[in-house]
Amino acid sequence: MTTYSDAGVDIDRGEEAVRRLKKHVEKTYSDDVLGGIGWFSGVINVKSLKNFTEPVLSFTIDGVGTKTIIAAMLGRWKGIGHDIVNHCANDLVCQGGTPLAFLDYLASSTLDPAIVEEIVSGMSEACQTLDCVLIGGETAEMPKVYHKGATDVAGAMVGVAERSKMITGEKIRAGDLLVALPSSGLHTNGYSLARKVLLEDAKMDLGTKLEDTGITLGEALLAPHTEYSRLVRKLHDAVGINGVAHITGGGIPGNLPRILPKGLGAQVKRSAIGVLPLFTLMQEKGNVPQEDMESAMNMGVGMILVIHPSKLEGVLREAKAAYVIGEVCKGEAVVIA
């Protein structure tokens, strides 16, 4: 007789994971949540959309990539939950979206209920901060699809915006300023290069203290993805923003062009970028070309706001860590020099 457990899938372990995460999920619930864990789909009453003149829904889905390898090495998972929620919320706000609901996907060769709970508890905390419902998800145990000890974390989010207040980039003009919002580190991109350079080639220990930072290499690599959603929406309401670019995989060269209208490019001052020590360390240890670093990493810039020069004072008043790194220009090239 061959059982499902013999094939590598333990149903009881999966049910234990769901039992553990239930209390964390329910912390995000509002009166608009209909049903709960156990339903085959998450259901939300959207009567609040009646408060909009012309509501538009926005959707995004992403993953945290190989950052989970660092989390596994250190046995620290809660920040991974923050990572995926914040990443999705940051994507939504690029068009002015406010988060409504989040769904997660966790998969492994062998589910560890304690790890699942820690990740979901982080998701729950991040969702509560955003006033966003963690409405559903999936935990999957798939031996031979994932190698032993591997965990995959992804998530999807739906948001809403008033159509007249959307940030579409169509108002961007030559002469607009590029304002950077600092990142906390790699966020959720560039970990394959970081591991190759720092751990495999340089053979650095994750417990190594980084100069001038007061934190270890492991702590720097696991720093949660910064959440910009609430700040950007506040700035847009207060002063108005012409464009927003979330600087993820592809860095500034790969993400800033996505929001620029045809016929417009940008000049970014390399010397103005507040490069984090972690990126400098990677470049030095791996002798990584500048262009490769900038095309793979955010280099310390997690988000770029495009604003009219007259709005700068108002933006800096609300976002004290923000700073100017360049401006929009005619032509379609984004040049970092």
* Residue 11 predicted with pLDDT over 80: no
* Residue 6 predicted with pLDDT over 70: no
Beta partners for residue 245, in sequence order: 304
Q: What is the pLDDT of residue 23?
A: 87
Q: 172: exposed, middle or buried (C-beta count within 10 Å: 0-12, 13-18, 19+)?
A: buried
pTM: 0.94
* Residue 133 predicted with pLDDT over 60: yes
* Residue 33 predicted with pLDDT over 60: yes
The least confident of 37-46, 241-250, 272-281 is 37-46
Q: 6: exposed, middle or buried (C-beta count within 10 Å: 0-12, 13-18, 19+)?
A: exposed
Q: What is the pLDDT of residue 64?
A: 97
* Residue 12 predicted with pLDDT over 70: no
Q: What is the pLDDT of residue 38?
A: 79
Q: What mean pLDDT do residues 206-214 have?
A: 90
Q: What is the pLDDT of residue 71?
A: 97
Cα separation values, 127 from 84, 138, 260, Å: 10, 17, 30
* Residue 14 predicted with pLDDT over 90: no
Q: 151: exposed, middle or buried (C-beta count within 10 Å: 0-12, 13-18, 19+)?
A: buried
* Residue 40 predicted with pLDDT over 70: yes
Q: What mean pLDDT do residues 109-133 have?
A: 95
Q: What is the pLDDT of residue 22?
A: 83
> Domains in the chain, ordered, with CATH?
11-165 (3.30.1330.10), 177-336 (3.90.650.10)
Return contacts of 202-207, CB within 8 angstroms, 24+ apart.
202/285, 202/286, 204/285, 206/70, 206/73, 206/74
Which residues have CB under 8 Å from 57's CB, separation 6+? Answer: 158, 159, 160
Q: What is the pLDDT of residue 204?
A: 96
Per-position DSSP letters for 280-324, written without gaps between them: HHHHHHHT--HHHHHHH--TTEEEEEEE-GGGHHHHHHH-TT-EE
Q: What mean pLDDT do residues 212-231 have?
A: 95
The token duo for 217 is 């290499």
- What CA–CA distance (Å, rounded) separates 288 from 291? 8
Interhelix angle 113-130/229-238, rounded to 10 degrees, is 10
Q: What is the pLDDT of residue 13?
A: 65
* Residue 230 predicted with pLDDT over 70: yes
For residue 3, what pLDDT band results from cuts at 50, 70 and 90?
Answer: low
Q: What is the pLDDT of residue 224?
A: 96
* Residue 16 predicted with pLDDT over 90: no
65: nearest Cα among 179, 172, 152, 137? 152
Q: What mean pLDDT do residues 82-90 have?
A: 98
185: nearest Cα among 327, 281, 288? 281
Q: What is the pLDDT of residue 208?
A: 94
Beta partners for residue 57, in sequence order: 160
- 123 or 21: whose pLDDT is higher? 123
Q: What mean pLDDT do residues 293-312 have?
A: 97
The least confident of 17-21, 46-50, 155-159, 245-249 is 17-21
Q: What is the pLDDT of residue 5?
A: 65
Cβ-based neighbour number of residue 5 at 10 Å:
11
- What CA–CA distance (Å, rounded) separates 7 from 209? 43
* Residue 8 predicted with pLDDT over 70: no
**3-class SS of residue 41:** coil
Per-residue pLDDT tens over the stretch 157-195 = 999 999 999 999 999 999 999 999 999 999 999 999 999
DSSP code, position 279: H
**3-class SS of residue 260:** coil
Phi and psi at 57, nearest 5°, equal -95, 145
